[in-house]
Chain A
Amino acid sequence: MRWLWLIPVLPFLGAFLNGVVLRDRLGKKGVWMVACGSVLAALLVSVLAISGYLGSEQYSAHEPFEQSVYEWIPAGSMGLDDGSFADVSVEMGFLLDPLSCVMLFVVTFVGFWIHWFSVGYMDHEPGFQRYFTYLNLFMGMMLMLVLGNNYLVTFVGWEGVGLCSYLLIGFYFDEEFPPYAGRKAFIVNRVGDLAFLAGMFALVAHFGTLNYEKLFGTIEAEPALVQGDYVLGMTLATFVTLALFIGATGKSAQIPLHVWLPDAMAGPTPVSALIHAATMVTAGVYIVVRSNVLYQLAHGTSELVAIIGALTAIFAATIGLAQTDIKKVLAYSTVSQLGYMFLACGVGAYTAAIFHLMTHAFFKGLMFLGSGSVIHAMSGEQDMRKMGGLKEHLPWTYRTFVAGTLAIAGAPLLAGFFSKDQILAATWADHKLLWVVGLVTAGLTACYMFRLLFMTFHGPFRGSEEQHHHLHESPPSMTIPLIVLAVGAVFSGYVGIPKLGSIDINVFDHFVGQVVAHVGHGEHHASLGIELFLMALSVVVAFAGWWLARKYYGGDRGLAEGERWAAKFPTVHRWLFNKYYVDEAYDATAVRGTWACARGLFRFDSKFIDGVLVNGSRHLTVGISLLSGFFDKYFVDGLVNLVGVVSQSGSRFFRRLQTGLVSQYALVLLIGMAMLVWFYVVVGLRR
């Protein structure tokens, strides 16, 4: 346990070695040995840490193990909401409790096998070393996310995995689409992160800390602290949970921020398996479960979480029915399954959510890798319409894929059966309408998954002659991970066998249940009879899904049946195929709107602020100075000149008088005298 901090550091070290120190000095072999070795080491340390924790006194006392590494951001003091002042400081620290144990194991275990798979899959790609650098970096960030002992360390991982996702989606950077998809993922995620930040700010401003144990301990002891009126008519609990949930919808691709995930399939397929199925996208579920104290105290948000989850589940499942790209189907399936997990969180079944998260990591990771194996065999082809009949050529891929499909479809006694059943049972007890949605989704899931299986592995081969020629089973380096994950997909459900009457061997529930607080809104439990009935019902529904898929896509007739089916409902098919036009709607509003804003403001900036105000004042100054120049030249100087002109012209006039003729002077004198006399006589007489 003392080495807890080492777990995220090891993959970082791998990334640092491959990316900075050694760069091109290692051959391919050296690169993958460093990369896989560091993750294997992290896996081993994790297992040691988990077993150490399970044997420790803290565990027996139901306490987490916390490790503070150093003080990270001593932000300084500030006034809290209650008027007091607190020194806000965030530490770099890690936490091991049942929840992080499960996450830690899933991430390192699945992560390691996907690393292994990548060695074979990426063998022929340029950028081998870059790929493994990113992948290791991702592992380190993901481990920060699940191990952080406060929201901010989790947020480091949260943003870090976003960065790695960006880099890995855009791995084939010399093409047009992947970099675009990567950027889209990053920015859509950032919208969610904005909300996540807001949630953290509210917690800091109220409690002065972001530490999980301190926060949740305080709140559990005194729930009223977060239930007073906060802002906009919300309580603090509602504000924070809503903010975190919006963050979660970004990371976990829920409505309305789900749009990035299907495009994220532009990255290499093992990346889709690791990041976009098994680990990163479940971070949203993790954060909701981690904050379950707050969610239990925010009934409204919980209900919203359930509704969004259920809606996303059915929405994505219907889209999955109509897609033809094998990875797109799996991507929508992931969105849909994540919806299930949120549905579970919303109805208070937090352990069921984590349980499904775990089983999903196995079977979805498996199926993504399986699709990778298929794509590898098909020389890069992803369109299922060009596949078919691959089971002969790829026997191990086929077998493991069947295991995964059965598991996700909810075939009895496989992993997905137990986890999905728990979610549906909890939903039944809480909200009947949402239960119906969940049940229908289960049927749809079976349908699109078997459709995928049939289109890919059954029927006649529909690809080109050359592709047919190249078909081959993947090398053992790729099939071994498939088999390992298939074992997980089949058996991992047994840790969570639901409680049937007095027989309670649900180890998982008891283990993870320790992190679920018991304040306010909790999980409802259905009775034994109902539970069995629900189980049977979901099996029936799954069977119906399989039957539909088999009817239209099974058989040896190729795609004709399926196309005829689609042609019966052209409008529906068009909407499903085009994913309900959500991307188009965003493009028309948010994207274009921002663009128009940006361009408009730039025009405003250069035309008005710089043009009219700044340069205007320049022109004004120049104008005024011109005017002043004019004024100076023609008025002030004009006055000066006027004096000269007046005196000159005056003197010219008066010069005329100076004729020098005495007779003239005498005449003027005479006239003057006559006028004076006249004046005095006339004026004087009048008086």
Chain B
Amino acid sequence: MFDWIHNIPILSVVTYLPLVGALLILFMNKESGGSIRRFATLVAFVDFLISLPLWFEFERTGELFQFRESASWIPSIGVRYEFGIDGISLLLVLLTTLLGVISFLSSWSAIGEREKEYYIFMLLLQTGMLGVFMAMDFFLFYVFWEVMLVPMYFLIGIWGGPRKLYAAIKFFLYTLVGSVVMLLGVLALYFYNSSGLLGFEGLGNPRTFAILQFHEISALIPPSMQWWIFLAFFVGFAIKVPMFPFHTWLPDAHVEAPTAGSVILAGVLLKMGTYGFVRFSLPILPEGTRALLPWMVALSLIGIIYGALVAMAQKDMKKLVAYSSVSHLGFVMLGIFALNSAGLNGGILQMINHGLSTGALFLLVGVIYERRHTRMIADYGGLSSKMPLFATVFLIITMASIGLPTLNGFVGEFTILVGAFSRTWWWALVGAIGIVLGAAYMLWMFQRVFFGPLDNPDNEDLEDLNKRELLYLMPLVILCFWIGLYPKPFFAILEKPVDYIVRRVDADYAANVDVAAVTAPAEVSE
């Protein structure tokens, strides 16, 4: 049915369509905000529609990386234009395009000034993020990784709240520091693969940034070097995740960003960090991973508990959700560093789950912020009687976020904790404390906003969700239930890439588990 996507460079189309849309908007009259926002949303929607066939056409048991595109780019230093997706990328790409449409829709009423620039930046952001998840050349990856910072910087800095400049600059500088250090790690790999560096003799391979080539040579990289490169990657990715103690840019950026910015930030941007660990740190640096494992797990566990406790003390809804992200991403990291299939499956699925439920939470906070222009919990109370529908959706998403069975969060958390438990039993128990705390802070917020007497006269005239708001919230609610009740299709997509990664980091697994041998696919020739 979707055969045609094999005949076109589908990944490039999905990636650059928003860019083309942004270019077209440049030529539109900036006075006509209505047509700009409709056009931009249409572009995002078409992009989502085009990305959807990937789900159906992706062969679960086929090649690890599919829909590959390859072209020479800067031959003098071995840089190539390489695109391709495995199951992990596929899920993240779909999450990105879906949250894209949703955040565009949510912006219709939220953004009232300089709409033209706003939608241009939003579209550029889409292109940047999609490229990150598809790039199979480290140089290309780095380009997208950096490109995406710029529109986000402007989104926060122009359409943000009262402290927008502080937040925007903090976000930009913080992540930039991380990516520069990461680049050092990339360069170390690059030179080690070819001519050598710092007294290490190189492997003498042709110069390349191809990620799969680095996967290939992982066993040849000496442990001490792996340790250092892991650390360099860690700085880049951990800031993005964000892991404790590199998380403080997040609450500021989240609170100041416009709603759509927060949704994208929480839903997609944070996943780039965890994606980086899964795609690069683990398979390329198995020795480094094992050497630094205790530290990684310790930081993840601290993040889980610490984020939850700090969230409990928040008075601002957005800030509360922001800190809850620190806690949830701690779970993701715990799953990833359990280094077994269950943990990784859960961790990656939880990346998606967090994108859906936290994205939805930011949208919901945005809904009442638009009506009342305050995010302070204390300004609300008793909203259930005025906004029953809103309260219901909020409750469902809250439950998804605190991991109630039959909703998505539970499937992810359970799988993560099972994986962690089988690695070291008490990791899972410490992590599980986060579940109790999660219930505490989320339900307490819910109670203060929706229950009790409606005693603030400003809340008397609140209107319930309108059709547009329902339209963009419903897909998220449905997905939360889908993953909660029938997550099998998601696990099926992850099976192969996860097996591939575990095989690289766990020699025991590689020796004992005999699934159809998965090896890194050969380079695509020109």
Contact = CB atoms under 8 A, between A and B. Distances in A.
B417 A77 contact: no
Interface in B481-518: 485-488, 491-492, 494-495, 498, 508-509, 512-513
Contact of B452 (A175, A599, A618): A175
Contacts of B392: 19
Contacts of A190: 435-436, 439-440
Contacts of A1: none
A78 B341 contact: yes
Contact of B385 (A85, A174, A606): A174
B417 A602 contact: no
B405 A155 contact: yes
Given A74-B488, A152-B414, A197-B432, A88 B313 contact: no
A159 interface: yes
A77 B451 contact: no
B415 interface: yes
Interface in A135-170: 152, 155-156, 159-160, 163, 166, 170
A201 B425 contact: yes
Contact of B306 (A70, A170, A601, A606): A601
B248 interface: yes
A202 interface: yes
A548 B247 CA distance: 64
B428 A73 contact: no
Contacts, number: 180
B374 interface: no
Contacts of A84: 512
A79 interface: yes
Contacts of A75: 341-342, 345-346, 414-415, 418-419, 491
B309 interface: yes
B12 interface: no
A183 B447 contact: yes
A610 B251 CA distance: 10
A597 B313 CA distance: 9
Contact of A170 (B342, B421, B425, B451): B451
Interface in A554-598: 594-595, 597-598
A194 B418 contact: no
A187 B342 contact: no
Contacts of A191: 436
A251 to B, nearest CB: 14
B425 A231 contact: yes
B157 interface: no
A126 to B, nearest CB: 9
B256 to A, nearest CB: 14
B498 A601 contact: no
A205 B432 CA distance: 16
B433 A160 contact: no
Chain B CB within 10 Å — which of A80, A152, A191, A614 has the most? A614
Interface of B is mostly: helix
B439 A186 contact: yes
Given A180-B447, A190-B436, A613-B245, A198 B344 contact: no
A156 B405 contact: yes
B382 interface: yes
A78 B423 CA distance: 9
Interface string A66-107: 000011111111111100110010000000000000000000
B451 A76 contact: no
Interface string B243-280: 00101110000000000000000000000000000000
Nearest to B436: A190
B418 A205 contact: yes
Contacts of A77: 340-342, 509, 513
B450 interface: yes
Given A194-B435, A231-B425, A160 B440 contact: no
Nearest to A71: B488
B404 interface: yes
A602 B454 CA distance: 29
B418 A202 contact: no
B17 interface: no
B312 interface: yes
Contacts of A605: 248, 306, 310
A121 B422 CA distance: 50
A186 B453 contact: no
Interface in B132-151: none
Interface in A305-349: none
B230 to A, nearest CB: 22
B411 interface: yes
B382 to A, nearest CB: 6
A655 B91 CA distance: 83
A481 B491 CA distance: 47
Contact of B404 (A88, A163, A618): A163
A231 to B, nearest CB: 6
A175 B385 CA distance: 12
Contacts of B313: 595, 598-599, 601-602
A71 B486 CA distance: 8
A73 B414 contact: yes
Interface string B394-437: 00000100001110001100110111011101001100110111
A173 interface: yes
Contacts of A81: 422
A176 interface: yes
Contact of B248 (A71, A594, A614): A614
B404 A76 contact: no
A443 interface: no
A72 B399 CA distance: 19
B243 to A, nearest CB: 12
Contacts of B436: 187, 190-191, 193-194
Contacts of B51: none
B46 interface: no
A609 interface: yes
Contact of A85 (B429, B486, B512): B512
Contacts of A268: none
A204 interface: yes
A176 B309 contact: no
Contact of A602 (B314, B382, B414, B425): B314
Nearest to B492: A74
A147 to B, nearest CB: 15
Interface in B267-315: 306, 309-310, 312-314
Given A73-B487, A75-B491, A155-B405, A594 B509 contact: no
B443 interface: yes
B478 to A, nearest CB: 12
Contacts of A156: 405-406
Nearest to A239: B425
Chain A CB within 10 Å — which of B314, B342, B432, B440 has the most? B342
Contacts of B414: 73, 75, 152, 197
A179 interface: yes
B453 A198 contact: no
A174 B454 contact: yes
B384 interface: yes
Nearest to B444: A183
9 contacts: A73-B414, A74-B492, A76-B341, A77-B509, A78-B340, A180-B447, A194-B435, A602-B314, A605-B310
Given A73-B491, A76-B342, 8 more contacts: A70-B486, A71-B488, A76-B344, A78-B340, A79-B423, A160-B405, A174-B452, A186-B439
Closest 10 CB pairs of A and B: A76-B341, A179-B451, A201-B421, A610-B248, A602-B313, A156-B405, A598-B312, A205-B422, A598-B313, A173-B451
Interface of B: 170, 174, 245, 247-249, 306, 309-310, 312-314, 340-346, 382, 384-385, 392, 399, 404-406, 410-411, 414-415, 417-419, 421-423, 425, 428-429, 432-433, 435-437, 439-440, 443-444, 447, 450-454, 485-488, 491-492, 494-495, 498, 508-509, 512-513
